[in-house]
Structure 1
Amino acid sequence: MEILIKASQFILSLSLLIVLHELGHFIPAKLFKTRVEKFYLFFDYKFSIFKKKIGETVYGIGWIPLGGYVKISGMIDESMDTEQMALPPQPWEFRSKPAWQRLIIMLGGVFVNFVLGIFIYIMLMWAYGEKYLPNENVKDGVWVENKLAENLGLQTGDKILTVDGQKVKKFSGLSLEFINGNTYQIERNGQVLDKEIPENFISQLMDRGKDAGNFLNVRYPFVIAKVQKDSLNANANILPKDIVTAINGTSITYYDEAKKELAKYKGQDISLTVKRNNETKEIPVKVSNYGNLGVVFGGTSFKDLERLGYYDLEEIEYSFSEAIPAGLNKSWKTLTDYIKQLKKIFNPSTGAYKGLGGFISIGSIFPDTWSAQSFWEITAFLSIMLGFMNLLPIPALDGGHVVFTLWEMITGRKPGDKFLEYAQVVGFILLITLLLFANGNDIFRLFK
């Protein structure tokens, strides 16, 4: 059922983005009296799931969910209709239109993607506002519990001040900033230290598999989630939601402090001081030879931590007029972060290419329960990502057509049809190679 919910959201989001992107080409083409022969969601090689001709355009749904397209008369595109291109140009054809009109038609899809992403972010800011843990409110620093964070040079208690010289507003944004960054600054025991992010950090991150994004944590209190049935303390007076505040008389604030303290009493009988509702209780317990109590720790959300007084969350509500600049800023941050990641992908030494994913990766970012907020946040991100990707100067993409049209406008010389055909073939080979590599990565990670 969870997979079905994820897949349904992915297909709905993808279909919406494809249809609106193609409308971005379709509408200006119609405005400039250019004939559109086909308007398709997904590709229809050999046959269609559905099709209907209205006027001069066939509208349909293909069976290959790799995108969509509009077939514009007189244009060298994915249809590779060389027979039509061999005939004399007709007034309704794309190739007969002035260069500026062709440029607008080609940029229409990208324009819609960017506008859609910005619009969704604005509406999300207006509807939900923002609630997050400010990085500056993590007063006692981060919790380092894995080799990746240690290899970065971090220690428990470090306060992360900046990444690449810029303050990070949200604690939840730190992971992405480290992925995109090169240097960072911390405060440790009152001393400010500058450190470098290893060039192969993303490679190390991807090697962690499913835990890739969870290498930085706030410091959590020692809250009991449950007592294991067969543990040494199965019959002790320990209850879920108890908060351990001292171990054998030594006060502790966080779980990482408790782990160090318990390690001193392996195989011994000690006392725990716990806070239960508004009471404080002393509970005798046994410590195993491994330095643990046989309890499961955790189950606390940021809201719980705020209620318990550990962290202060920031909550911002926006009026519609305030949501506009907030949504624009969010869109710009999303775009610039994505560009930074692409730069690292094209640098083999970073290992970022390992994180390149296809349909499984994209589908997996949707939650396994329906959330309107999450769905629209992911759709906005994908819309901006799709807009930028289509701007890349690859012949089979909108960006490739734009480059050739701009060349014509600047030089006054139009590239020949044969050249455009060959360029289209090269572009398709590049895209198919990238598609196979990305989805191959997905399959490799799935089996791994």
Structure 2
Amino acid sequence: MEFLIKISQFLLSLSLLIVLHELGHFIPAKLFKTRVEKFYLFFDVKFSLFKKKIGETVYGIGWLPLGGYVKIAGMIDESMDTEQMAKEPQPWEFRSKPAWQRLIIMLGGVTVNFILAALIYMFMAFAYGETDIATSSIKDGYWVTNPLLIDLGAQTGDKVVAINNEPVVSYSDMRSKLIVAKTITLDRNGTEKTITTPEDFLGQLSTGEDKSLFELRIPFVVAQVSDSSMNKGVDLKQGDIITGINHTELKYFDEFEPFLSQLKGQKVEVELLRDFKPVTRELTVDDKGKLGIYPYAGVGAETYEKLGYYKVVTKDYSFAESIGVGAGKFKQQIVAYWGQLQMIFNPNTGAYKGVGGFKAIFDIFPNTWSWEAFWGITAFLSIMLGVLNLLPIPALDGGHVMFLLYEMVTGRKPGDKFMEYAQMVGFFILIALVLFANGNDIFKAIFK
């Protein structure tokens, strides 16, 4: 069932983005009286799952879910229709239109992507507001388990006060900045310590087994008792919070392992909170220093706030306010993604090792249906699609824009033969990138 929920969100998001992107090309093409021969969701290699001709355009759904396309008459694109290009230009063809009209047609797709992302962020701000955790309320620092961070000098209990010399005020702000961090300023028991990340920090993080960063320290919440546990028959319920053992307060989950390692094979008195009321139970620590209890990760942030772990900041926005908030979020995300993309194309950062394909995108979606999560992910993917399509690779919109700008500046139009060869080169580059990204997914799945 979880797979069906994830795949449904994945396909709905991608289909929406592809159709709207291609609609961004389709609408200006029709406005400028340019013939659009095909409008397809997914690729129709050899055959289509569905197609219907309306007017001069065939609308359809292909079987290969690697994107979509509009086939505009008189344009050298992925269809490589050289037969049509060999004929005399017709007034309704793309190549017969003024350069400025062709430029608008080519920029239509990415324009829609960016407008869509901005609108989603605006409406999300209005519908959901913003919920975050104030870093100033995190009194006992973060939980650090990643060997990469530990080797750099970080440890559990450190507070992150600045990244790249910019103060962090919210937990989500810290998380988004960490992956491109060059310096991380920590507060350890009132003393500041700055660690410098290696140039290939993102690459090491992507390939390491532990992907955690500075995680929230949370209590030990009971999910269920293992069938093989010595405590199987004890009255424990999902949601019980273990607060101490033998009258020693244990506030955080990360404190249990070292404490229990000293009590192997012993019976202990465990203090719990059940529905915020204290109760005690006698449990047995096994010979490995374990209680045989699975921790529960489904507790909401509001519960942790009520227990005094941190402060949840919630902001509601009017419709007018949400416009500015959404625009700010859009700007923040596009700058962040562009920064990540620059790192990916710099071999020294090793960031290319973390590039993923369709499985990586699929894994972003949650196991349960959440419209808030769905729209947030869709907005980010829309930005990603827009930025990637602007790359100056001939087979992408950015490649066509590059040649059109050359034509507008020099007054000379690249020849059809040159454009055919450029399109072929661009197509092979795209295939190589797709194979690399999805190959990374396969490699990680096998060797993780």
Name the TM-score, length of structure 1 as normaliser: 0.92
Whole-Å separation in 1 of the counterparts to 2:55 and 2:363: 40
Measured after TM superposition, the shift of residue 389 of structure 1 is: 0.7
Measured after TM superposition, the shift of residue 276 of structure 1 is: 4.4
- Name the SS of the counterpart of 2:95 in structure 1: helix
Deviations 1:417-438 (A, max 9, x none): 1111111111001001101111
Whole-Å separation in 2 of the counterparts to 1:322 and 1:267: 59
Whole-Å separation in 2 of the counterparts to 1:239 and 1:5: 28
Measured after TM superposition, the shift of residue 408 of structure 1 is: 1.2
- Name the SS of the counterpart of 1:180 in structure 2: coil
Deviations 1:78-100 (A, max 9, x none): 11122222222222221121111
What is residue 79 of structure 2 aligned with on the other side? 79
Whole-Å separation in 1 of the counterparts to 2:256 and 2:51: 65
Measured after TM superposition, the shift of residue 238 of structure 1 is: 5.7
Q: Which amino acid aligns with 2:20?
A: L
What is residue 188 of structure 1 aligned with on the other side? 188
Measured after TM superposition, the shift of residue 273 of structure 1 is: 3.9
Measured after TM superposition, the shift of residue 28 of structure 1 is: 0.9
What is residue 145 of structure 1 aligned with on the other side? 145
What is residue 124 of structure 1 aligned with on the other side? 124
Q: Which amino acid aligns with 1:160?
A: V
What is residue 114 of structure 1 aligned with on the other side? 114
Which consecutive residues of structure 2, in runs of 5 or more, have no partner in the other structure? none
Whole-Å separation in 2 of the counterparts to 1:301 and 1:410: 57
Q: Which amino acid aligns with 1:294?
A: G
- Name the SS of the counterpart of 1:64 in structure 2: strand
- Name the SS of the counterpart of 1:77 in structure 2: coil
Relative to 1, partners in 2 of residues 1:41 and 1:283: Cα closer, same or farther, differing over 3 Å?
closer
Q: Which amino acid aligns with 2:374?
A: F
What is residue 424 of structure 1 aligned with on the other side? 423
Contact 1:122–1:327 (CA<8 Å) still a contact in 2?
Answer: yes
Whole-Å separation in 2 of the counterparts to 1:150 and 1:125: 37
What is residue 97 of structure 1 aligned with on the other side? 97
Q: Which amino acid aligns with 1:397?
A: L
Contact 1:148–1:215 (CA<8 Å) still a contact in 2?
Answer: no
Q: Which amino acid aligns with 2:85?
A: M
Measured after TM superposition, the shift of residue 102 of structure 1 is: 1.0
Q: Which structure 2 residues correspond to residues 44-443 of structure 1 after superposition, within 5 A?
A: 44-209=44-209, 212=211, 214-234=212-232, 241-277=239-275, 279-281=277-279, 283-299=281-297, 300-443=299-442
Whole-Å separation in 2 of the counterparts to 1:229 and 1:72: 63
Which consecutive residues of structure 1, in runs of 5 or more, have no partner in the other structure? none
Contact 2:142–2:158 (CA<8 Å) still a contact in 1?
Answer: yes
Relative to 1, partners in 2 of residues 1:278 and 1:421: Cα closer, same or farther, differing over 3 Å?
closer
Q: Which amino acid aligns with 2:118?
A: I
Relative to 1, partners in 2 of residues 1:36 and 1:268: Cα closer, same or farther, differing over 3 Å?
closer
Measured after TM superposition, the shift of residue 240 of structure 1 is: 5.0
**Number of residue pairs aligned between Structure 1 and Structure 2:** 446
Contact 2:238–2:296 (CA<8 Å) still a contact in 1?
Answer: no
Measured after TM superposition, the shift of residue 22 of structure 1 is: 1.1
Contact 1:50–1:61 (CA<8 Å) still a contact in 2?
Answer: yes
Contact 1:143–1:218 (CA<8 Å) still a contact in 2?
Answer: yes
Name the TM-score, length of structure 2 as normaliser: 0.92
CA RMSD of superposed structures (Å): 2.3
Q: Which amino acid aligns with 2:291?
A: L
Measured after TM superposition, the shift of residue 13 of structure 1 is: 1.5
Whole-Å separation in 2 of the counterparts to 1:304 and 1:111: 42
Identity %, equivalent residues: 57
Relative to 1, partners in 2 of residues 1:280 and 1:387: Cα closer, same or farther, differing over 3 Å?
closer
Q: Which amino acid aligns with 2:115?
A: V
Relative to 1, partners in 2 of residues 1:364 and 1:407: Cα closer, same or farther, differing over 3 Å?
same
Contact 2:134–2:310 (CA<8 Å) still a contact in 1?
Answer: no
Q: Which amino acid aligns with 2:50?
A: F
Contact 1:162–1:184 (CA<8 Å) still a contact in 2?
Answer: yes
Contact 1:263–1:290 (CA<8 Å) still a contact in 2?
Answer: yes
What is residue 40 of structure 1 aligned with on the other side? 40
Relative to 1, partners in 2 of residues 1:49 and 1:244: Cα closer, same or farther, differing over 3 Å?
closer
Measured after TM superposition, the shift of residue 128 of structure 1 is: 1.0
- Name the SS of the counterpart of 1:75 in structure 2: coil
Measured after TM superposition, the shift of residue 227 of structure 1 is: 3.9
Q: Which amino acid aligns with 1:96?
A: S
